[in-house]
Structure 1
Amino acid sequence: MLRRLLQRHIPHQDTLKRNRSLRFLSPIVANTSLWVLTRRSVGNAFMVGLFCAMLPIPFQMALAACGAWLLRCNLPLSVGLVWLTNPLTMPVVFYGNYRLGSWLLDTPVQPAPNHLSTHWFAAKMVDILPVLFLGSLVSAVVLGIISNIVLRLIWRWQVSRSWKRRAKRRCAQREVIHRNTLT
Protein backbone atom coordinates (compact mmCIF):
# COMPACT_ATOMS: atom_id res chain seq x y z
CA MET A 1 0.00 0.00 0.00
CA LEU A 2 2.67 2.49 1.04
CA ARG A 3 4.90 1.37 -1.82
CA ARG A 4 2.12 1.92 -4.38
CA LEU A 5 1.41 5.38 -3.01
CA LEU A 6 5.07 6.36 -3.27
CA GLN A 7 5.46 4.88 -6.76
CA ARG A 8 2.56 7.00 -7.99
CA HIS A 9 4.16 10.26 -6.90
CA ILE A 10 7.87 9.65 -7.55
CA PRO A 11 9.10 10.53 -11.05
CA HIS A 12 10.28 7.62 -13.13
CA GLN A 13 13.98 7.11 -13.68
CA ASP A 14 13.69 7.22 -17.48
CA THR A 15 11.98 10.61 -17.51
CA LEU A 16 14.89 12.11 -15.56
CA LYS A 17 17.42 10.48 -17.88
CA ARG A 18 15.75 12.12 -20.89
CA ASN A 19 15.67 15.58 -19.29
CA ARG A 20 18.34 17.79 -20.90
CA SER A 21 19.03 19.89 -17.82
CA LEU A 22 19.69 16.78 -15.70
CA ARG A 23 21.91 14.99 -18.21
CA PHE A 24 25.04 15.72 -16.17
CA LEU A 25 23.54 13.64 -13.36
CA SER A 26 23.07 10.58 -15.56
CA PRO A 27 25.63 8.41 -13.67
CA ILE A 28 23.71 8.97 -10.44
CA VAL A 29 20.26 8.70 -12.04
CA ALA A 30 21.31 5.49 -13.82
CA ASN A 31 22.10 3.78 -10.50
CA THR A 32 19.05 1.58 -9.99
CA SER A 33 19.72 1.01 -6.28
CA LEU A 34 18.83 4.67 -5.66
CA TRP A 35 15.30 4.15 -7.05
CA VAL A 36 14.25 1.04 -5.12
CA LEU A 37 11.31 1.30 -2.71
CA THR A 38 12.00 -0.99 0.21
CA ARG A 39 11.45 -0.50 3.92
CA ARG A 40 15.14 0.19 4.41
CA SER A 41 15.61 2.52 1.43
CA VAL A 42 12.49 4.56 2.19
CA GLY A 43 13.25 4.81 5.92
CA ASN A 44 16.79 5.97 5.23
CA ALA A 45 15.55 8.40 2.56
CA PHE A 46 13.21 9.99 5.10
CA MET A 47 16.10 10.21 7.56
CA VAL A 48 18.44 11.86 5.03
CA GLY A 49 15.81 14.19 3.57
CA LEU A 50 14.47 15.46 6.87
CA PHE A 51 17.98 15.78 8.31
CA CYS A 52 19.01 18.00 5.40
CA ALA A 53 15.76 19.96 5.54
CA MET A 54 16.44 21.07 9.12
CA LEU A 55 19.91 22.45 8.35
CA PRO A 56 20.07 26.22 7.67
CA ILE A 57 22.51 25.89 4.78
CA PRO A 58 22.35 26.47 1.04
CA PHE A 59 22.30 23.53 -1.40
CA GLN A 60 20.23 21.28 0.86
CA MET A 61 19.06 19.25 -2.15
CA ALA A 62 22.63 18.53 -3.25
CA LEU A 63 23.51 17.43 0.29
CA ALA A 64 20.44 15.17 0.37
CA ALA A 65 21.41 13.64 -2.99
CA CYS A 66 24.92 12.93 -1.71
CA GLY A 67 23.48 11.43 1.47
CA ALA A 68 21.14 9.23 -0.56
CA TRP A 69 24.05 8.09 -2.69
CA LEU A 70 26.22 7.31 0.35
CA LEU A 71 23.49 5.42 2.23
CA ARG A 72 22.06 3.80 -0.93
CA CYS A 73 18.56 4.99 -0.14
CA ASN A 74 15.80 6.33 -2.37
CA LEU A 75 17.12 9.42 -4.16
CA PRO A 76 13.85 11.11 -5.20
CA LEU A 77 12.37 10.82 -1.72
CA SER A 78 15.41 12.18 0.07
CA VAL A 79 15.72 15.14 -2.32
CA GLY A 80 11.98 15.83 -2.30
CA LEU A 81 11.71 15.83 1.49
CA VAL A 82 14.15 18.74 1.64
CA TRP A 83 11.29 20.91 0.41
CA LEU A 84 9.66 20.54 3.81
CA THR A 85 11.54 23.76 4.53
CA ASN A 86 10.37 25.81 1.59
CA PRO A 87 10.36 29.63 1.53
CA LEU A 88 7.00 29.68 3.34
CA THR A 89 7.89 27.29 6.17
CA MET A 90 11.56 28.18 6.53
CA PRO A 91 11.14 31.15 8.91
CA VAL A 92 8.92 29.15 11.27
CA VAL A 93 11.14 26.05 11.26
CA PHE A 94 14.39 27.95 11.71
CA TYR A 95 12.91 30.15 14.42
CA GLY A 96 11.88 26.99 16.25
CA ASN A 97 15.41 25.63 15.78
CA TYR A 98 16.81 28.90 17.12
CA ARG A 99 14.55 28.68 20.18
CA LEU A 100 15.64 25.07 20.74
CA GLY A 101 19.30 26.09 20.51
CA SER A 102 18.84 28.96 22.92
CA TRP A 103 17.09 26.61 25.35
CA LEU A 104 19.91 24.05 25.06
CA LEU A 105 22.62 26.68 25.58
CA ASP A 106 20.56 28.51 28.22
CA THR A 107 20.99 31.85 26.46
CA PRO A 108 18.36 34.56 26.13
CA VAL A 109 16.49 34.79 22.83
CA GLN A 110 17.49 37.85 20.79
CA PRO A 111 14.45 40.08 20.34
CA ALA A 112 13.47 40.88 16.76
CA PRO A 113 13.67 44.55 15.77
CA ASN A 114 10.70 46.61 14.63
CA HIS A 115 12.25 47.03 11.18
CA LEU A 116 14.33 44.20 9.78
CA SER A 117 17.52 45.38 8.09
CA THR A 118 20.78 43.91 6.85
CA HIS A 119 22.65 46.03 9.41
CA TRP A 120 20.71 44.35 12.25
CA PHE A 121 21.45 40.90 10.77
CA ALA A 122 25.15 41.70 10.41
CA ALA A 123 25.37 42.91 14.00
CA LYS A 124 23.45 39.98 15.51
CA MET A 125 24.75 37.09 13.34
CA VAL A 126 27.64 36.40 15.69
CA ASP A 127 25.15 35.81 18.50
CA ILE A 128 22.45 34.06 16.47
CA LEU A 129 24.37 31.62 14.23
CA PRO A 130 25.91 29.29 16.84
CA VAL A 131 22.58 28.97 18.62
CA LEU A 132 20.72 28.41 15.34
CA PHE A 133 23.20 25.78 14.15
CA LEU A 134 23.06 23.86 17.43
CA GLY A 135 19.26 23.88 17.49
CA SER A 136 19.11 22.90 13.83
CA LEU A 137 21.60 20.07 14.26
CA VAL A 138 19.78 18.64 17.29
CA SER A 139 16.36 18.86 15.61
CA ALA A 140 17.80 17.36 12.39
CA VAL A 141 19.27 14.35 14.20
CA VAL A 142 16.18 13.75 16.33
CA LEU A 143 13.73 14.21 13.45
CA GLY A 144 15.82 12.02 11.13
CA ILE A 145 16.08 9.13 13.59
CA ILE A 146 12.44 9.30 14.68
CA SER A 147 11.18 9.46 11.09
CA ASN A 148 13.29 6.46 10.11
CA ILE A 149 12.03 4.37 13.03
CA VAL A 150 8.38 5.41 12.64
CA LEU A 151 8.37 4.81 8.89
CA ARG A 152 9.90 1.35 9.26
CA LEU A 153 7.34 0.46 11.94
CA ILE A 154 4.44 1.66 9.77
CA TRP A 155 5.82 -0.27 6.80
CA ARG A 156 6.18 -3.45 8.89
CA TRP A 157 2.68 -3.04 10.35
CA GLN A 158 1.16 -2.70 6.87
CA VAL A 159 3.01 -5.76 5.57
CA SER A 160 1.94 -7.90 8.54
CA ARG A 161 -1.65 -6.65 8.18
CA SER A 162 -1.70 -7.64 4.49
CA TRP A 163 -0.22 -11.07 5.34
CA LYS A 164 -2.97 -11.64 7.92
CA ARG A 165 -5.64 -10.60 5.41
CA ARG A 166 -4.25 -13.01 2.82
CA ALA A 167 -4.11 -15.81 5.37
CA LYS A 168 -7.76 -15.21 6.34
CA ARG A 169 -8.76 -15.16 2.69
CA ARG A 170 -6.93 -18.45 2.02
CA CYS A 171 -8.47 -20.05 5.09
CA ALA A 172 -11.95 -18.99 3.96
CA GLN A 173 -11.29 -20.37 0.48
CA ARG A 174 -10.13 -23.70 1.95
CA GLU A 175 -13.29 -23.91 4.07
CA VAL A 176 -15.47 -23.30 1.00
CA ILE A 177 -13.60 -25.98 -0.96
CA HIS A 178 -13.82 -28.38 1.99
CA ARG A 179 -17.61 -27.80 2.33
CA ASN A 180 -18.08 -28.32 -1.42
CA THR A 181 -16.20 -31.60 -1.36
CA LEU A 182 -18.28 -32.91 1.58
CA THR A 183 -21.61 -32.28 -0.14
Structure 2
Amino acid sequence: MPKKTIKRFMPDHQTIRDNKYLKVFGDLLHNPNLWHLNRHSVAKAFAIGLFFAFIPVPFQMVLAAGGAIIFHANLPLSIALVWLTNPLTMPVIFYACYLVGTLLLAVPERKFAFEANWQWVVDSLSTIGPAFFVGCLFLAIVFSVLGYFGIQSLWRYSVIKAWKSRGHK
Protein backbone atom coordinates (compact mmCIF):
# COMPACT_ATOMS: atom_id res chain seq x y z
CA MET A 1 0.00 0.00 0.00
CA PRO A 2 1.43 3.46 -0.84
CA LYS A 3 0.81 4.78 2.67
CA LYS A 4 3.19 2.30 4.29
CA THR A 5 5.85 2.85 1.64
CA ILE A 6 5.63 6.63 1.91
CA LYS A 7 5.84 6.53 5.73
CA ARG A 8 9.18 4.74 5.56
CA PHE A 9 10.79 7.51 3.50
CA MET A 10 9.22 10.58 5.11
CA PRO A 11 11.36 12.93 7.17
CA ASP A 12 10.84 13.04 10.93
CA HIS A 13 8.30 15.58 12.26
CA GLN A 14 10.72 17.06 14.77
CA THR A 15 13.42 17.52 12.13
CA ILE A 16 11.06 19.59 10.02
CA ARG A 17 9.71 21.60 12.96
CA ASP A 18 13.28 22.39 14.09
CA ASN A 19 14.50 23.49 10.64
CA LYS A 20 15.70 27.08 10.99
CA TYR A 21 14.35 28.11 7.58
CA LEU A 22 10.88 26.77 8.31
CA LYS A 23 10.54 28.59 11.65
CA VAL A 24 9.04 31.49 9.67
CA PHE A 25 5.78 29.48 9.62
CA GLY A 26 5.66 29.34 13.43
CA ASP A 27 2.65 27.52 14.87
CA LEU A 28 1.29 26.71 11.41
CA LEU A 29 3.74 23.78 11.35
CA HIS A 30 1.92 22.26 14.32
CA ASN A 31 -1.35 21.81 12.41
CA PRO A 32 -1.94 18.04 12.63
CA ASN A 33 -3.66 18.00 9.23
CA LEU A 34 -0.32 18.79 7.58
CA TRP A 35 1.10 15.52 8.87
CA HIS A 36 -1.67 13.10 7.83
CA LEU A 37 -1.15 10.60 5.06
CA ASN A 38 -4.19 10.13 2.86
CA ARG A 39 -4.72 10.00 -0.87
CA HIS A 40 -5.54 13.67 -1.23
CA SER A 41 -2.83 15.09 1.04
CA VAL A 42 -0.16 12.90 -0.57
CA ALA A 43 -1.26 13.71 -4.12
CA LYS A 44 -1.19 17.44 -3.32
CA ALA A 45 2.22 17.01 -1.68
CA PHE A 46 3.58 15.37 -4.82
CA ALA A 47 2.21 18.19 -6.96
CA ILE A 48 3.71 20.87 -4.71
CA GLY A 49 7.05 19.17 -4.14
CA LEU A 50 7.60 18.33 -7.79
CA PHE A 51 6.56 21.80 -8.88
CA PHE A 52 9.09 23.53 -6.63
CA ALA A 53 11.79 20.96 -7.42
CA PHE A 54 11.85 22.32 -10.98
CA ILE A 55 11.80 26.00 -10.00
CA PRO A 56 15.41 27.25 -9.86
CA VAL A 57 15.25 29.43 -6.77
CA PRO A 58 16.92 29.24 -3.39
CA PHE A 59 14.88 28.06 -0.42
CA GLN A 60 12.73 25.61 -2.38
CA MET A 61 11.91 23.85 0.90
CA VAL A 62 10.39 27.02 2.33
CA LEU A 63 8.27 27.53 -0.79
CA ALA A 64 7.14 23.89 -0.70
CA ALA A 65 6.24 24.24 2.99
CA GLY A 66 4.23 27.36 2.24
CA GLY A 67 2.44 25.55 -0.58
CA ALA A 68 1.68 22.59 1.69
CA ILE A 69 0.21 24.92 4.31
CA ILE A 70 -1.91 26.83 1.78
CA PHE A 71 -3.20 23.72 -0.01
CA HIS A 72 -3.45 21.44 3.06
CA ALA A 73 -0.97 18.94 1.66
CA ASN A 74 1.32 16.61 3.56
CA LEU A 75 4.09 18.90 4.77
CA PRO A 76 7.03 16.47 5.16
CA LEU A 77 6.42 14.91 1.78
CA SER A 78 6.15 18.29 0.03
CA ILE A 79 9.46 19.32 1.53
CA ALA A 80 11.20 16.01 0.82
CA LEU A 81 10.22 16.00 -2.85
CA VAL A 82 12.03 19.25 -3.63
CA TRP A 83 15.22 17.31 -3.01
CA LEU A 84 14.65 15.61 -6.34
CA THR A 85 16.86 18.45 -7.53
CA ASN A 86 19.92 18.02 -5.37
CA PRO A 87 23.55 18.84 -6.13
CA LEU A 88 23.95 15.52 -7.98
CA THR A 89 20.80 15.69 -10.12
CA MET A 90 20.54 19.44 -10.62
CA PRO A 91 22.89 19.75 -13.62
CA VAL A 92 21.09 17.05 -15.59
CA ILE A 93 17.59 18.21 -14.68
CA PHE A 94 18.25 21.87 -15.33
CA TYR A 95 20.02 21.13 -18.61
CA ALA A 96 16.93 19.15 -19.65
CA CYS A 97 14.84 22.19 -18.68
CA TYR A 98 16.99 24.34 -20.92
CA LEU A 99 16.59 21.91 -23.84
CA VAL A 100 12.80 21.79 -23.38
CA GLY A 101 12.77 25.59 -23.24
CA THR A 102 14.63 25.84 -26.54
CA LEU A 103 12.06 23.52 -28.12
CA LEU A 104 9.12 25.48 -26.73
CA LEU A 105 10.55 28.85 -27.77
CA ALA A 106 11.86 27.48 -31.08
CA VAL A 107 15.31 28.97 -30.50
CA PRO A 108 18.59 27.26 -31.30
CA GLU A 109 20.62 25.73 -28.52
CA ARG A 110 23.55 27.82 -27.46
CA LYS A 111 26.82 26.27 -26.44
CA PHE A 112 27.89 27.31 -22.99
CA ALA A 113 30.28 26.24 -20.27
CA PHE A 114 29.09 26.58 -16.72
CA GLU A 115 31.16 28.72 -14.42
CA ALA A 116 30.52 28.89 -10.70
CA ASN A 117 30.47 32.66 -10.33
CA TRP A 118 27.89 35.40 -10.14
CA GLN A 119 29.03 37.18 -13.31
CA TRP A 120 28.40 34.05 -15.40
CA VAL A 121 24.88 33.81 -13.98
CA VAL A 122 24.14 37.47 -14.76
CA ASP A 123 25.55 37.17 -18.30
CA SER A 124 23.62 33.95 -18.95
CA LEU A 125 20.25 35.45 -18.03
CA SER A 126 20.11 37.27 -21.35
CA THR A 127 21.40 34.38 -23.49
CA ILE A 128 20.22 31.02 -22.17
CA GLY A 129 17.97 32.42 -19.41
CA PRO A 130 14.66 32.70 -21.29
CA ALA A 131 14.78 29.13 -22.62
CA PHE A 132 15.93 27.83 -19.24
CA PHE A 133 13.14 29.54 -17.27
CA VAL A 134 10.41 28.58 -19.76
CA GLY A 135 11.62 24.98 -19.68
CA CYS A 136 11.71 24.97 -15.87
CA LEU A 137 8.18 26.32 -15.62
CA PHE A 138 6.85 23.93 -18.26
CA LEU A 139 8.43 20.85 -16.66
CA ALA A 140 7.36 22.02 -13.19
CA ILE A 141 3.75 22.12 -14.35
CA VAL A 142 3.97 18.83 -16.27
CA PHE A 143 5.59 16.87 -13.44
CA SER A 144 3.32 18.48 -10.87
CA VAL A 145 0.21 17.36 -12.77
CA LEU A 146 1.68 13.91 -13.49
CA GLY A 147 2.63 13.50 -9.83
CA TYR A 148 -0.81 14.51 -8.60
CA PHE A 149 -2.78 12.23 -10.92
CA GLY A 150 -0.19 9.45 -10.72
CA ILE A 151 -0.48 9.27 -6.94
CA GLN A 152 -4.27 9.50 -7.09
CA SER A 153 -4.32 6.56 -9.55
CA LEU A 154 -1.72 4.49 -7.71
CA TRP A 155 -3.48 4.97 -4.38
CA ARG A 156 -6.88 4.11 -5.84
CA TYR A 157 -5.44 1.02 -7.56
CA SER A 158 -3.82 -0.21 -4.34
CA VAL A 159 -7.06 0.24 -2.37
CA ILE A 160 -9.06 -1.65 -5.02
CA LYS A 161 -6.44 -4.40 -5.06
CA ALA A 162 -6.52 -4.67 -1.25
CA TRP A 163 -10.33 -4.86 -1.25
CA LYS A 164 -10.32 -7.59 -3.87
CA SER A 165 -7.72 -9.60 -1.94
CA ARG A 166 -10.04 -9.52 1.09
CA GLY A 167 -12.87 -10.97 -0.96
CA HIS A 168 -14.84 -7.75 -1.50
CA LYS A 169 -16.32 -7.13 -4.89
Say yes or no: TM over 0.5.
yes
Matches within 5 A, 1:24-103: 24=23, 25-103=25-103
Which amino acid letter does the alignment assign opposite residue 91 of structure 1?
Answer: P
Instruction: Tell me if structure 2 keeps the 8 A contact 1:17–1:30.
Output: no
Matches within 5 A, 1:1-183: 1-13=1-13, 15-16=14-15, 19=18, 24=23, 25-113=25-113, 116=115, 118=117, 120-167=120-167
1:58 deviation in Å? 1.0
1:29 deviation in Å? 2.4
Instruction: Tell me which of the two structures has the higher relative contact order, counting C-alpha pairs closer than 8 angstroms and 6 or more residues apart.
Output: 2
Give 1 or 2: higher helix fraction.
1
Identity between Structure 1 and Structure 2 (%): 39
**What RMSD, in angstroms, separates the aligned Cα atoms of the two structures?**
2.4
Summarize deviations over 1:93-131 as a string: whole Å, max 9, x none: 011000111111111111024x84745544332121121
Which amino acid letter does the alignment assign opposite residue 157 of structure 1?
Answer: Y
Gap regions ≥5 residues in structure 1: 172-183
Count how many residue pairs are aligned between Structure 1 and Structure 2.
167
1:28 deviation in Å? 2.5
TM-score (norm 2): 0.88
Higher-Rg member (1/2):
1
Gap regions ≥5 residues in structure 2: none
TM-score (norm 1): 0.82
CA distance in 2, matches of 1:35, 1:149: 20
Summarize deviations over 1:68-92 as a string: whole Å, max 9, x none: 0111000000000000000111011
